[in-house]
Structure 1
Amino acid sequence: VEAEDRQNLARILREAATKEKTVIVTIMNQAWAEANSTFDVFLESFRIGIGTERLLRHVVVVCLDDKAYTRCLEVLPHRCFFLRTTGVDFSGEKRFMVPDYLKMMWRRTEFLGSMLKLGYNFLFTDMDTIWLRDPFPRFFADADFQIACDVFFNGNSSDTGNAANGGFKFVKSNRRTIKFYNYWYESRLRFPGDNEQDVLNRIKADQYVKKTGLKMRFLDMTHVGNFCQREWDITKVCIMHGNCCVGQDNKIKDLRQMLEDWKNFVSNGTGEGGFRQPMNCRRSLRR
């Protein structure tokens, strides 16, 4: 990060952080920034979630291109950071695992590691999530690194046998996590062609990680849910991640539908109702 950008980032983080020096970080490119797209759905969820609106002031949006940055400044001024990367175009919709997608993912890992070095804890969230309840009470007080599960949670939050999902993680800034992030980023060279989530799942039980003393925890899917699941408890879900989905339009339709179901649940006051299935996303996987 260039010197001028570093100063800018330091100011944004200082203004956005909680008194415990925690920041909520998400990443946006042009494709997600367009009106009525991922960014708008993400922000709307904070406004209609329970106890989530007050968290918005702690959100920092890391923008990967000019259009995303311009749109961010219109909506959340003072909370937008332009992460410049020379020679790569991050603006289009990134299909899973194409070379630019991989570069974008590793750039993100490197950036988050640098936040830890600046002394900030972060809750990283993909933008294709909706926030229905405050997730902070669900985190483990003594964990260094806690992360969502991908397709299933085996009931044991300490078991590295759980498959990690890089789209939602809470990381405290300390010596252990800084070492871990360095190791994770360097491990990309051992597994070329793998994304950061795949590499994480390969290294999470490594001897080196054990030696650092890092306390890793996996978050249960009752509270941090996703589209890979077949059923959800609307009375408990904090975060819903629109994964297991191909195509941004499908994802946005289904996330919007879940927001509608949530509004109905909150307004009818009886605790009745639930989420409909994300059928656009389900169908997209069959193609």
Structure 2
Amino acid sequence: MISSSPSSSPLSSAYIFPRRRLSSPSFLPLSSPPPKPPLPSNSGEMKPDVASNSAVYLRRVFTAIVFLSAVVLSCFVLYRATDSVGLKMPMFSQGSSRLDSKEFRLEKVLNDAAMEDKTVILTTLNEAWASPNSIIDLFLESFRFGEHTRKLLNHLVIIALDMKAFSRCLDIHTHCFALVTEGVDFSSEAYFMTPAYLKMMWSRIFFLQSVLELGFNFVFTDADVMWFRDPFPHFYFDADFQIACDHFSGISDGVENKPNGGFKFVRSNNRSIEFYKYWYSSREKFPGLHDQDVLNIIKNGTFIQDIGLKMRFLSTAYFGGFCEPSRDLNEVCTMHANCCFGLDSKLHDLRILLQDWKSYMSLPPRFKGSPLVSWRVPQNCSLDALLHFDLQSEDEKQEMDNNGKTDKRL
């Protein structure tokens, strides 16, 4: 999800767990064997040459002891230092030895989950959405109750943004990858357009770029997107980049569509990689905007045409959300809890959404086409609530500007 170097990115200092432990030091033997202990003379005193050899021997032993102590102390200091800079791993129930292998390296995880054409399904997860009976459980449940979607779980990789999310992933899913950004805590709920939210969104763009560079196609989905049908039959076979919308104009290549980065299908090729590099670097031209706002700007520019990228926008008839719901339950593939502020509101409406889907699936076939069959949501999620939050944020920002303060939250 370029002019900027990797060192300037929020993921340039990312650490991929687990930590490599220091091996025990080994040492070469001394250049010559130590002399034998001197024998006493008849007078009870050592001869001068014997006393000299004894002194040399003692100096060598003392030097070796000092050297060994210095090396061991250095190893201990280095080991403690790795803990202090963010490489510390919690002791999971699976045991640290499992994490000390190549099992959780990105390319290995992607290969294990990939379809035959190297396509993977990706979602991100933090502690706020990982707790039991929260977003991630509803997300996985939708695959199990959808039409022809359960098999797609075999190709889903959960990208954990903190270690509690990673631990939960290991408990509930097969393919997990731990990704941590130095100096940033993504474990809490990131409210829309806060600094933490912006940093998380741009980190996601950079990470998705790296997936493309490894040669994998991906469907990226937010965890608050419910999967009810296999979406692949509704993707455009010739598009490099296709994305869901908050509002769909009816024209798949119309730039007037309002895209939503929470669901997209991207094929790995030179065009898509260059596009992601450009998208990520454009954050510097438009500070304070999130990835969707910047996408809305650059989609109207000439760069996409210059590199030959084929972009398509997905219809809300198949890929809907609370902004613009998919009204026909006989056609819907996914539903996104967009246009929604707050975790509690999302959970409330997503639970109703899943219950509506289960009720629909239990109907006899002759009743499924009835116009009376529809969603009962959104309820707590609404554009009005989101607009109210935006106005509050603007008022707070204006007040801080008037007081000469800067918001330094991460």
TM-score range, shorter chain: over 0.9
TM-score in terms of structure 2 length: 0.67
Q: Determine the structure 1 residue equivalent to 2:147.
A: 50
Q: Determine the structure 2 residue equivalent to 1:166.
A: 261
Instruction: Measure, in 2, the Cα distance between the counterparts of 1:19 and 1:230.
Output: 32
Question: Does the 8 A contact of 1:126 with 1:168 survive in 2?
Answer: yes
Instruction: Decide whether aligned partners of structure 1 residues 46 and 231 sit closer, same or farther in structure 2, where only a CA change above 3 A counts.
Output: closer
Cα drift, residue 229 of structure 1: 2.1
Instruction: Measure, in 2, the Cα distance between the counterparts of 1:231 and 1:136.
Output: 17
Cα drift, residue 286 of structure 1: 7.1
Q: Determine the structure 1 residue equivalent to 2:321.
A: 226
Q: Determine the structure 2 residue equivalent to 1:60.
A: 157
Q: How does 1:55-134 map to 2 (within 5 A)?
A: 55-77=152-174, 79-134=175-230
TM-score in terms of structure 1 length: 0.96
Instruction: Measure, in 2, the Cα distance between the counterparts of 1:255 and 1:195.
Output: 24
Cα drift, residue 232 of structure 1: 1.3
The letter for the 1-side match of 2:379 is: M
Q: How does 1:138-157 map to 2 (within 5 A)?
A: 138-150=234-246, 152-157=247-252
Q: 1:229-283 CA deviation, whole Å, 9 max, x = no partner?
A: 2661111110000011111111111111011111111111220422112211137
Instruction: Measure, in 1, the Cα distance between the counterparts of 2:205 and 2:295.
Output: 11
Instruction: Measure, in 2, the Cα distance between the counterparts of 1:89 and 1:104.
Output: 10
Q: Determine the structure 2 residue equivalent to 1:26.
A: 123
Instruction: Measure, in 2, the Cα distance between the counterparts of 1:28 and 1:146.
Output: 22
Instruction: Decide whether aligned partners of structure 1 residues 105 and 56 sit closer, same or farther in structure 2, where only a CA change above 3 A counts.
Output: same
Q: Determine the structure 1 residue equivalent to 2:34.
A: none
Cα drift, residue 285 of structure 1: 4.0
Q: Does 1:263 align with 2:358?
A: yes
Question: Does the 8 A contact of 2:15 with 2:181 survive in 1?
Answer: no
Quote the sequence identity (%): 52
Q: Determine the structure 1 residue equivalent to 2:108.
A: 11
The letter for the 2-side match of 1:124 is: F
Q: Determine the structure 2 residue equivalent to 1:281.
A: 381
Higher relative contact order (CA 8 A, sep 6+): 1
Which secondary structure does the structure 2 equivalent of 1:206 belong to? Answer: coil
Q: Determine the structure 1 residue equivalent to 2:341.
A: 246
Instruction: Measure, in 2, the Cα distance between the counterparts of 1:159 and 1:230.
Output: 20
Q: How many residues align?
A: 285
Which secondary structure does the structure 2 equivalent of 1:149 belong to? Answer: strand
The letter for the 2-side match of 1:110 is: F
Instruction: Measure, in 2, the Cα distance between the counterparts of 1:161 and 1:154.
Output: 7
Instruction: Measure, in 1, the Cα distance between the counterparts of 2:130 and 2:157.
Output: 14
Q: 1:202-226 CA deviation, whole Å, 9 max, x = no partner?
A: 1012111110000000000000000
Provide the aligned C-alpha RMSD in A.
1.6
Cα drift, residue 109 of structure 1: 0.2
The letter for the 2-side match of 1:147 is: I
**Among 97, 118, 134, which residue is 1:37 paired with?**
134
Instruction: Measure, in 1, the Cα distance between the counterparts of 2:140 and 2:293.
Output: 29
Q: Determine the structure 2 residue equivalent to 1:185.
A: 280
Q: 1:30-65 CA deviation, whole Å, 9 max, x = no partner?
A: 000011100000000000000000000100011111
Instruction: Measure, in 2, the Cα distance between the counterparts of 1:141 and 1:103.
Output: 32
Instruction: Measure, in 2, the Cα distance between the counterparts of 1:201 and 1:97.
Output: 16
Instruction: Decide whether aligned partners of structure 1 residues 4 and 93 sit closer, same or farther in structure 2, where only a CA change above 3 A counts.
Output: closer
Instruction: Decide whether aligned partners of structure 1 residues 254 and 3 sit closer, same or farther in structure 2, where only a CA change above 3 A counts.
Output: closer
Question: Does the 8 A contact of 1:254 with 1:281 survive in 2?
Answer: yes
**Among 195, 203, 206, which residue is 2:290 paired with?**
195
Cα drift, residue 3 of structure 1: 7.3
Which secondary structure does the structure 2 equivalent of 1:188 belong to? Answer: helix
Instruction: Decide whether aligned partners of structure 1 residues 231 and 207 sit closer, same or farther in structure 2, where only a CA change above 3 A counts.
Output: closer
Instruction: Measure, in 1, the Cα distance between the counterparts of 2:136 and 2:16.
Output: 28
Q: Greater shift after overlay, 243-252 or 18-27?
A: 243-252
Larger radius of gyration: 2
Instruction: Measure, in 1, the Cα distance between the counterparts of 2:387 and 2:284.
Output: 33
